[in-house]
A and B are shown apart, each in its own frame.
Chain A
Amino acid sequence: MATSTRQADALVDFDAVLASYDPALGLEVHVELNTNTKMFCGCPAVFGGEPNTQVCPTCLGLPGAMPVVNRKAVESAIRIGLALNCDIAEWCRFARKNYFYPDMPKNFQTSQYDEPIAFDGWMDVEVGGETVRVEIERAHMEEDTGKSLHVGGATGRIHGADYSLVDYNRAGIPLIEIVTRPIVGAGAKAPEIARAYVAQLRDLIVALAVSEARMDQGNLRADVNLSLAPKGSGVLGTRTETKNVNSFRSVERAVRYEMQRHAAILDGGGSILQETRHWHEDTGVTTSGREKSDADDYRYFPEPDLVPVAPSRDWVDELRGTLPENPTVKRTRLQAEWGFTDLEMRDTVGAGAFGLVEETVAAGCAPQAARKWWLTELARRANESGVDIADLGVSPATVAEVQALVEAGTINDKLARQVFDGLLAGEGTPAEIVAARGLEMVSDEGALGAAVDKAIADNPDVAQKIRDGKVAAAGALIGAVMKEMRGQADAGRVRELVLERLG
């Protein structure tokens, strides 16, 4: 008899997983909308208020309170659906998803069940220069839950907590849940496709301006479904659902980890238990959550307090007219405008920096300079800190400011790196950091000239070579001057001064 196993003793090497199994991937992404108010009541939907200051009888589930649907939230849902090439329901209802957990004071979550507002769509995802079509099963409207704080116990997490404290400010904030169909045939690319899908979906949500879309603040939350089937069998294996994976990088890592963990269990003759898993960002592993309930156990039924939503085709067409440019078309257009090569473009998109470069250029930065800063300095620092580049805490406008300082001759590229150090350390604006750290380049011709004269005097051999016409030797003198000036000089101007004296 096969045993059902939750924890694998060891992971199977990734290549070995692919030799024996085909992965199937599914992604559920929750998008918290940026409406002024909640889904079913007029409480503010802003982030970060004092506990229980944004609540009313409706979102607290008090007896007799009646919900009313937020029109703006329905518009956002339809726009998301249209942008994902979905059909928009002509008529659909909300449903009650019944469960007992104190994050929902009503003892049910108002959601949609078998009548989502948007369904049967797709999104083309670019992975390593290839386009993969991800099919969208549905996008439906629901509400967010409250936030629980677990008190006591060693870890602060659920296990070992003595009691819990609940803040309902978030309860009732509009959510759109976007569900893909199983993505099969991805093979070794499954982890990258998962990451690229979530990254591109975020770009789309940002372009639609329907959410703050900050993964680190939970505006965009991904659940990763994964299963393995014997290679070539064409069936779907038993899946696990890893909840709340909150960065692009983690999405990729979670898929990879679950593939390796499933394979270890299956190789050992075990079978996968259908359950939710928790992702641990620090250790890069998943641990067992709860056994997944059957949909039947939620006892879904139509929400009697909300009448059906029946968007007229005129309304849908009007909203279609508000959609931003198709991302693929836009990418092609901007690549031409920016003069990026295919490889530069692919690297930019692959690094999750496309939107950042776009915003940096919009803030007045030259495209190649924007690409350079994001893909070298900032990508490296994000990688070192293990965060997504978008969550580094440096805004596109700030990068444009740094480049403006370079172009004004206030600093050079090398000094700009120190400005980024300062930005990440929270030392203020680029101009403030230049002033505080004394990074401004020496433009005083007298001081520069003195340093050049000193370098010539210190290096008579080199100076003679230049007098003899070996201009390439000037590099050594420029280096000496830059060292003397602690890097705070315009190397081009130093070169001119050297050649003026020795030419």
Chain B
Amino acid sequence: MPEITRDEVAHLATLARIDLDDAELDHLAPQLSVILESVASISAVAGDDVPPTSHALPLTNVFRDDVVVPGLTPEQALSGAPEQEQQRFAVPRILGDEQ
């Protein structure tokens, strides 16, 4: 029976950069548990011969050839950027670290 604890929800919120206060955690954690349990009920009807499915269609090997196709101009690419400088996306100071 899957269950998600309040601490796990708080951790996931941190990872997802979602700011949840105590009241919101109290409210959401039990709801997420119910959702997980509901989805997990599918397991009850799946036999051992049914593998977990990640894709809706039974397709494999959908490839494209290694040929350049036109993309966006820098103006188009940057048109939605809140800030830009030197033809680059300006982003807030980075406190973390590169991956």
Contact = CB atoms under 8 A, between A and B. Distances in A.
Nearest to A167: B88
A56 B86 contact: no
Interface residues of A, number: 65
B71 to A, nearest CB: 3
A59 B71 CA distance: 10
Contacts of A238: none
B15 A299 contact: yes
Contacts of B94: 101-102, 148, 150, 158, 161, 164
A57 B63 CA distance: 18
A91 B72 contact: no
Nearest to A51: B87
A69 B65 CA distance: 9
A165 interface: yes
A70 interface: yes
B91 A307 contact: no
Contacts of A98: 15-16
Grouping DSSP codes into helix (H, G, I), strand (E, B) and loop, the B interface class, with mixed when no group exceeds half, is loop
Given A52-B87, A161-B93, A307-B60, A73 B71 contact: no
B66 to A, nearest CB: 4
Contact of B97 (A42, A50, A93, A289): A289
A306 B61 CA distance: 9
Contacts, number: 150
Nearest to A59: B71
Counting contact residues on chain B (CB < 8 A from A), the size range is 35 or more
A304 B55 CA distance: 6
A71 B68 contact: no
Given A36-B68, A70-B63, A145 B98 contact: yes
Nearest to A69: B63
A219 B11 CA distance: 36
B72 A60 contact: yes
Given A162-B93, A307-B60, A71 B88 contact: no
A57 B88 CA distance: 16
Task: Indicate the member of B12, B57, B61, B67 with the most A CB atoms within 10 Å.
Answer: B61
Given A68-B62, A69-B63, A164-B91, A307 B57 contact: yes
B52 to A, nearest CB: 9
19 contacts: A36-B68, A37-B67, A42-B64, A55-B71, A56-B72, A59-B71, A62-B80, A68-B62, A68-B64, A71-B65, A99-B99, A103-B98, A109-B99, A145-B98, A158-B97, A161-B94, A163-B90, A289-B97, A307-B61
Given A52-B89, A164-B93, 7 more contacts: A53-B73, A56-B72, A102-B91, A105-B89, A166-B89, A307-B60, A310-B61
Interface of B: 12, 15-17, 54-55, 57, 59-69, 71-74, 77-78, 80, 85-94, 96-99
